[in-house]
A and B are shown apart, each in its own frame.
Chain A
């Protein structure tokens, strides 16, 4: 029982991070109908931005502290949002009218480009770097359960961001425009919506979420390296498809399922080596029965 609860807690924390990343995949899919493979690398850049910003911030605000962590995250979010918008502007916008397959391959190219450039010794180098401590850490013991402060931070941050995202998408003019673009781009343009601005905004928003996910992931991971985004990116990408790509609640749900699945499979010896295989296997099974994902199509809430 304790074991189950412990895995549940770990799984929730991991799943929250996956959910944040999956939201970025799904939002971009909503407006542009392609899978932005470079999203996982924006996550890595978010962690690196924090890595480089942290020393500068710590000269103003002492680290680890809450204000310091928020400041570092904010700067990293702004950097990543800029990078996301730039990627869209340089690589995807010229291909707007092209077949989606072309854009998909370009996205893979962009992803490889970022990964290999960052691995170059003149950029970040391929080695693992220790991630600075942004928040004071503490383990809470509830009976036999151990809840680390990092896990709590991850879950609370995710909940706040989800609420914020829901507000932006459902209650602001920008969000309404996003939904309109995802519903029907041409009609939205005829209604006077500036499509390019909305798409840039969507990329910025998705990349901002990726930056925070990157920082949260780096806080739990032993260190950061230029390929750190690949594994969580892949899981989140499965999560987004699992939930029904283009569907926001679906992405969050898919992320949680994947996180729980991974921790439970990882907790059972013998299964842990097959984690990735199991995740893909379940995805394929679900797609066989529900080709549009768990929450796809039926609930028309694409963004």
Chain B
């Protein structure tokens, strides 16, 4: 895209396109039927989840199976905050509260990400996968036993703040942030760590720092996605954040091609639509889904969207 103006270059283009699209479509959202609107918001949330996991699993080459855990931390935090605070605020301030709750959820999730990032200093591959899986389970078990957030019966009556505009605006911000982070001079370190940790560290790159940064950043956006999800579904239950949810996000990242943001976004869209398309075969839905995972791994483990393979280009 060398011919396009400078302000339309690279990641900024995504941000612009995303926010404009979100704002424009949001204006018409009243005309959509509720079901379609719900699915579209789901897509936006999944894009945030997949792009943020892509930073950890794709760009940095770590393997996290606990993304749903971060999402749960963010979702429950944001939901609890708006449940407690919203009755005290006039309607005009509600969007501000929503933003505050989302950020608080993201920050707490980022803190959790830091906690998971630290073991990754010593662990690699399968072991890291297991620790992140375990972390996700620990979060679920804690939430399941926490009376303050409804324990096993779930958290009900969360105000419906999530709109199309919020979701896709934040999705655009996520994509912008992750792509420009990875494409920055500093961010090349993520790719270096994923390519060869030893070589990277001998070039003066601190792999530990990059890994923790990836976990913290990825977790922050997963937390934001969790907050959006909470205020979209208006109900949270610990079972919604189980192992299967983490797998869903991992599959999106793999389908899109690890480390390729555009592919991951397309994969998030496809994999959100797939269960809706299969709804009429609901009995076979999950069987088909699991078969697809296997077939995908056999036929195209590098992802479906591997055009323009340029290492490092996000």
Contacts and interface: CB of A to CB of B under 8 A. Distances in A.
A104 B129 contact: yes
Contacts of B244: 112
A291 B244 CA distance: 26
Of all A-B residue pairs in the complex, the 6 with the closest CB atoms, nearest first, are A109-B293, A280-B134, A277-B141, A112-B290, A113-B290, A116-B286
Given A116-B287, A117-B287, A273-B141, 4 more contacts: A35-B130, A108-B293, A112-B286, A280-B138
A102 B291 CA distance: 14
Given A283-B134, A284-B135, A104 B290 contact: no
Interface residues on A, range: 35 or more
Interface string B236-249: 00000000100100
A287 B131 contact: yes
Contact of A277 (B142, B254, B293, B301): B142
Nearest to A242: B130
B177 interface: no
A225 to B, nearest CB: 16
Interface of A: 34-35, 91, 94-95, 98-106, 108-110, 112-113, 115-117, 120-121, 234, 237-238, 241, 245, 273-277, 280-281, 283-284, 287-288, 291
Nearest to B293: A109
A109 B134 contact: no
Given A241-B127, A284-B131, A287-B119, A98 B301 contact: yes
Contacts of A276: 137-138, 141
B297 A95 contact: yes
Nearest to A240: B130
A273 B152 CA distance: 11
Q: Could you say which interface size class chain B belongs to?
A: 35 or more
Q: For the complex, would chain A's binding face be called helix, strand, loop or mixed by DSSP majority?
A: helix
B137 A105 contact: no
B126 A121 contact: no
A106 B135 CA distance: 22
Interface string B277-294: 000000110110111011
A3 B141 CA distance: 26
A108 B138 contact: no
A110 B298 CA distance: 12
Contact of B126 (A35, A94, A274): A35
